[in-house]
């Protein structure tokens, strides 16, 4: 017996819709096997991982808080990935956005004004975009590989934040803890709904998703992104510049990652600490692909991946497994998402016997 991949004559619409669901189902199955191997009852474990966090109002708010940065970053990355630019450093741009946005509440903490918050958001976007400008410049003008440069800059950002909160930006009244001042009231992103902690970052994420969806679907800019992503040569024929697209897509995704960073800090943490992200910038890559690089799909995918964070925390408490389970689930999910995409272009056939032998017998 052998397994054959047969190219479909046409891209299967059915499987381009189904593939994320199949991937999610396979992740659950293999997650269950993993729990069983760890000696836990897979059903209760999966229940506490995926269902319990959805059963209470406060945990739904937590889900929205965690989904907000994932969606914001994922939407920005979708533009990048669609244009064939591989920004892997959103985590770094997230951190630099958070730092740039925190300049006002940390350095100029006396200044209380309603414009502080909008300015913080703007600074956050600029900070993220400037940090993404480094790999953009290197790719556009030095022909370096942006995957490597953007990834390496993540560590630069992480260590820079670490140095800031232990050094110049450390709270003078903070008992030597590596933290900045807590933000003033004017610098805190308010809650959206009365029932819980969900801040306006979630609204930013939804608005960004809808706007990018509109851009990709209806405008010449979206068309340019698609064309250059499919074929740089055809883009050149259309009069589009790959180099300008490197700049646009990197700055755009950097700005959204930066906005996610400052929204997270201002809305959820309300100060800077050595670590402000559980890897949102990397998880957002999975979000972008699980959402099929479609901004609306990314909203759904962001909620699913946010659930893996919550589930990891819940599973740690209720069944006593390491929170690294979260990473395992995210890894499984990415793996299955990418491999299920094969089904869109190929159909799988099991061949039990070589056809030629049977055909010859028939002929006799």
Closer Cβ to another protein, 155 or 237, answer by number: 237
Q: Among 338, 312, 314, 305, which Cα is nearest to 326's? A: 312
359 binds another protein (CB under 8 A): yes
Among the listed ranges 20-28, 262-270, 318-326, 353-361, the one in contact with another protein (CB under 8 A) is 353-361
Token pair, residue 119, equals: 């300015």
Q: Counting beta carbons within 10 angstroms of the beta carbon of residue 354, is it exposed (0 to 12), middle (13 to 18) or buried (19 or more)?
A: exposed
Closer Cβ to another protein, 257 or 343, answer by number: 343
Token pair, residue 158, equals: 């992480």
Angle, nearest 10°, between helix axes 295-318 and 201-218?
A: 150
Closer Cβ to another protein, 15 or 282, answer by number: 15
Among the listed ranges 5-13, 95-103, 119-127, 177-185, the one in contact with another protein (CB under 8 A) is 5-13
Instruction: Read off φ and ψ for residue 351, nearest 5 degrees.
Output: -105, 115
Token pair, residue 16, equals: 């381009």
The DSSP bridge partners found for residue 261 are none
To the nearest whole angstrom, how small is the minimum distance from the Cβ of residue 222 to another protein? 9
363 binds another protein (CB under 8 A): yes
Largest CA distance in the chain: 95
349 binds another protein (CB under 8 A): no
Closer Cβ to another protein, 221 or 273, answer by number: 221
To the nearest whole angstrom, how small is the minimum distance from the Cβ of residue 79 to another protein? 16
9 binds another protein (CB under 8 A): yes
Count of CA atoms in the C-beta half-sphere (13 A) of 11: 6
x/- string (CB under 8 A) for another protein, residues 11-40? ------------------------------
To the nearest whole angstrom, how small is the minimum distance from the Cβ of residue 235 to another protein? 9
Instruction: Read off φ and ψ for residue 350, nearest 5 degrees.
Output: -95, 125
342 binds another protein (CB under 8 A): no
The Cα–Cα gap between 346 and 342 comes to: 6
Near another protein in 211-270, by CB under 8 A: 218-221, 223, 226-227, 230-231, 233-234, 236-239
Token pair, residue 123, equals: 């600074």
By CB under 8 A, name the binding residues for another protein: 6-10, 218-221, 223, 226-227, 230-231, 233-234, 236-239, 355-356, 359-360, 363
């Amino acid at each position: 017996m052998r397994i054959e991949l047969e190219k479909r004559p046409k891209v299967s619409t059915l499987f381009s819709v189904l593939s994320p669901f199949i991937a999610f189902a396979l992740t659950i199955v293999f997650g269950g096997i993993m729990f069983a191997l760890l000696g836990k009852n897979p059903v209760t474990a999966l229940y506490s991982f995926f269902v319990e966090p959805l059963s209470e109002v406060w945990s739904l708010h937590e889900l929205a808080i965690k989904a907000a940065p994932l969606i914001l970053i994922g939407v920005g990355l979708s533009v990048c990935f669609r244009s064939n630019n591989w920004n892997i450093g959103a985590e770094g741009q997230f951190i630099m956005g958070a730092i740039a946005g925190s300049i006002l509440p940390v350095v100029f903490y006396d200044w209380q004004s309603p414009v502080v918050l909008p300015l913080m958001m703007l600074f956050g976007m600029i900070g993220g975009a400037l940090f993404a400008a480094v790999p953009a410049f290197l790719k556009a003008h030095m022909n370096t590989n942006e995957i490597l440069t953007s990834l390496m800059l993540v560590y630069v950002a992480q260590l820079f934040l670490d140095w800031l909160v232990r050094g110049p930006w450390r709270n003078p009244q903070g008992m030597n803890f590596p933290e900045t001042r807590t933000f003033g009231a004017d610098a805190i992103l308010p809650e959206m709904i009365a029932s819980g902690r969900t801040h306006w970052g979630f609204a930013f994420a939804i608005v960004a998703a809808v706007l990018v969806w509109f851009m990709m679907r209806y405008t010449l800019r979206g068309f340019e992104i698609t064309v250059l992503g499919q074929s740089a040569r055809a883009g050149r024929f259309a009069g589009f510049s790959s180099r300008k697209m490197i700049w646009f897509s990197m700055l755009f995704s950097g700005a959204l990652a930066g906005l996610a960073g400052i929204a997270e800090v201002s809305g959820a943490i309300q100060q800077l600490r050595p670590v402000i992200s559980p890897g949102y910038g990397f998880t957002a890559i999975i979000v972008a692909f699980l959402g099929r690089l479609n901004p609306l799909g990314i909203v759904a995918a962001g909620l699913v991946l946010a659930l893996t964070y919550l589930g990891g925390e819940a599973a740690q408490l209720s069944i006593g497994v390491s929170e690294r389970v979260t990473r395992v689930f995210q890894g499984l999910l990415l793996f299955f998402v990418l491999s299920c995409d094969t089904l869109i272009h190929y159909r799988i056939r099991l061949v039990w016997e070589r056809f030629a032998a049977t055909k010859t017998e028939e002929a006799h």
